[in-house]
Amino acid sequence: MVEEKITTYSIGELAKLLEMSTRTIRYYEELGLLNSVKRIENGRRIYTDDDVRRLKLIKRLKILGLTLSEMHELESIWQIHKTNDVVLRRLLEILDSHVQRVDDRIKDLEILKNEIIEYQTRIKNKLNG
């Protein structure tokens, strides 16, 4: 039987790998978004590839506009149901809501753009008039 070697990272190595501050990683851990962190004898944190995957997911969800509260909700759902199906269904609902907010924002920006153009035209007419 071949023993599988588990890759571990210090918090500094993890931060560099993911282009994230150590403070942010600790904060996610405090919030319960990164709860598989192990500690060695001297209390130093060690991280695994599972933690790397989790942090990459957190970064992706953040880019997609999820709040830390929404991410925590997804983590809580996972802790209760231990299945991706329930988590992914809720994630779809959250993303639908975010798409709607983006669409609303785009409409608002189009209105603002048109108002700016109209105002520019009025100013130009005044200057040329």
Tens digit of each residue's pLDDT (9 = 90 or more) over 34-45: 876 777 777 788
Q: Which of 22, 18, 68 is nearest to 45 (CA)?
A: 22
**What are the residue boundaries of the structural domains of the chain, listed by start?**
1-63, 66-129
1-63, CATH topology level: Multidrug-efflux Transporter Regulator; Chain: A; Domain 2 (1.10.1660)
> What would the two tokens of residue 85 be?
């199906």
Residue with more model confidence, 40 or 102: 102
Q: Where are the alpha helices (DSSP H) in 64-83?
A: 68-81
pLDDT in tens, 55-86: 999 999 999 999 999 999 998 998 899 888 99
Percent of the chain residues past pLDDT 70, beyond the cut: 95
Distance CA 123, CA 112 (A): 16
Please give the average per-residue pLDDT across 24-37, as a whole number.
86
